[in-house]
Amino acid sequence: MSGVTDSIPIEMPQLSAGQDEDASAGATLASWLVAVGDLVEQGEVVAELETDKATVELESPVAGRVLELIVAEGTEGVVPGTVLGLLASDEASENASAGSGDGAASASVSADRDSGASEEPAPPANTPPEYSGSVGENADAPRSTPLARRAAVANEVDLAELAGTGAGGRVVEADVLRAAGQSDGASAVAASEEQRASAPLDSIASAAPVVASIDESVALEEGVRSVRLSTMRKTIARRMTESKQQVPHFYLRMRVRMDEVVSVRARLNERLAAEGRDIRISVNDFVVRALALGLRDVPSANVQYAGDAMHAFERVDVSVAVATDGGLVTPVIRDADRKGLTTLAEEVKFLAGLARDGKLKPEQYQGGTATISNLGMYGIESVYPILNPPQACILGVGAAEEQAVVVDGELQVGRVASLTLAADHRAVDGAVGAQLLASVRARLIDPLGMML
């Protein structure tokens, strides 16, 4: 390639914290979003990486032209520092990144004209077919990002008809999605997230979650297929097996009346709607708040077993289990005991959306001090969860159902939910677990107290 003055590697980044035991397992190169010969800008997304918890976007380290894609799509166990591909830095690339060129194709044409060539060069041999033609990018279309080209193909949008809002008039993904009728550039996933948010669910778990994964299956016999496990599914299987085999669980179960929670929640949501705020407080948000305050009330339960030592936390970071297509993900609400219900609801909704889209960053799902697993929206009466190591406590929450209850010797009908605490007996004794569960119940019976 003429004019090449340097070659810059595209490397696999460190996707997990250094202390994470899964950091050395590597990640999967799920897909390339560029092809050899494409011009990319610094910070532009060039690939998607699949970890045990999420799909992470890989950005280009510099502006340049894609010279080589070394690691193939679908490669598993790629460790940090591995060179995935190469970028060539040349004058054409620099001009394109500064917005002076008319497009990837026209930049190549002008470069050849300067050198005396009269014919337009053919596209790179391994350029995907959807990157050319009337749908996608062509020589007459404005410059566009790889994500925009992919979105154009998926939504049947002609890039030539779009005015780009990116640097130098470049068409970006939001421009394509907006042209496809998705307001404000929101993706189809984001649109479905809005529908889920407005549904009368008392949990953040989704009945139709989405996480990018590589679908490979092999027919074993008639009616039976062997489906390759994703990185996330493998990690869940290994960690849950280790947790059940190596951590001495004990369970405490308690019933709690949820009538006041349901009543207060309804009033708060009416007030939020009257104020025009686009947020709904769920029953699960009350449970998150109650557990966070309970851990503050009983600090001896906010611990982790660490071999010859015990880690006692001054902070209260609550992990909330979210169902995704790839498996269970637990984004963390930091300092949950210091946040009000509305703030918790907004943060849970935001992190749950990232989890379902496979976009959580490691710092958003690592380091919780306790976990909540709520299956009440499915009508489950009791949940006996498996601990999420190295955490010492996880709270299982069942549905708040109408049941017969006795109050002062009189029979009444009330909404009752089952709370089940699973604890690591190496770190938490039965009495400590009972104190924590009693504190959570007291908060839920009197939810107005949680607002003080």
Whether residue 281 contacts residue 443, with contact meaning beta carbons closer than 8 Å, is answered with no
pLDDT tens, residue by residue, 235-288 = 888 889 999 999 999 999 999 999 999 999 999 999 999 999 989 999 999 999
Give the length of the chain.
452
Q: In this predicted model, which residue has the larger pLDDT, 244 or 117?
A: 244
- Of 190-204, 353-367, 436-450, where does mean pLDDT reach its minimum? 190-204
pLDDT tens, residue by residue, 194-236 = 333 333 333 333 333 333 333 456 777 888 888 877 777 888 8
- Return the beta strands (E) in 222-345 as ranges: 224-227, 249-257, 303-306, 309-312, 318-320, 322-324, 327-329, 332-333
**Contacts (Cβ under 8 Å, ≥6 apart) of 155:** 176, 177, 179, 180
- Of 80-84, 136-140, 370-374, 413-417, where does mean pLDDT reach its minimum? 136-140
Confidence of residue 191 (pLDDT cuts 50, 70, 90): very low
Alpha-carbon radius of gyration of the chain: 26
What percent of the chain is modeled with pLDDT above 90?
42
425 is catalytic: yes
DSSP codes joined into one string, 118-149? -SPPPPPTT--GGGSSSSB--TTSPPB-HHHH
- Maximum alpha-carbon separation in the chain: 99
Distance CA 130, CA 132 (A): 5
pLDDT tens, residue by residue, 22-74 = 444 678 888 898 989 888 888 888 998 887 767 788 889 888 899 999 999 88
112-126 average pLDDT score = 40
372-393 average pLDDT score = 94
pLDDT tens, residue by residue, 283-302 = 999 999 999 999 999 999 99
**Contacts (Cβ under 8 Å, ≥6 apart) of 64:** 8, 39, 40, 87, 88, 89, 90, 93, 97
Burial level of 190, CB count in 10 A (0-12/13-18/19+)? middle
Which residues in the chain are classed under CATH 3.30.559.10?
244-451
Residue closest to 257 by CA, chosen among 95, 74, 442: 442
Which pLDDT score, from 0 to 100, does residue 155 have?
80
Which pLDDT score, from 0 to 100, does residue 217 have?
64
- Return the beta strands (E) in 196-278 as ranges: 217-221, 224-227, 249-257
Q: Residue with structure tokens 């406590």?
A: 393
Q: Residue with structure tokens 């002076």?
A: 100
Which residues in the chain are classed under CATH 2.40.50.100?
6-185
Which pLDDT score, from 0 to 100, does residue 19 have?
36
Q: Is the pLDDT of residue 392 over 80?
A: yes
Name the catalytic one among 315, 361, 425, 426.
425
DSSP 115: T
Structure tokens at 120: 């337009």
Q: Structurally, what CATH architecture does the domain formed by 6-185 represent?
A: Beta Barrel (2.40)
Q: Is the pLDDT of residue 426 over 80?
A: yes
Q: Residue with structure tokens 């929206």?
A: 377
- Going by CATH, does the domain composed of 244-451 fall within 3.30.559.10? yes
Distance CA 283, CA 399 (A): 10
Sheet-wide strand order for 39-40:
6-11, 83-89, 64-69, 39-40
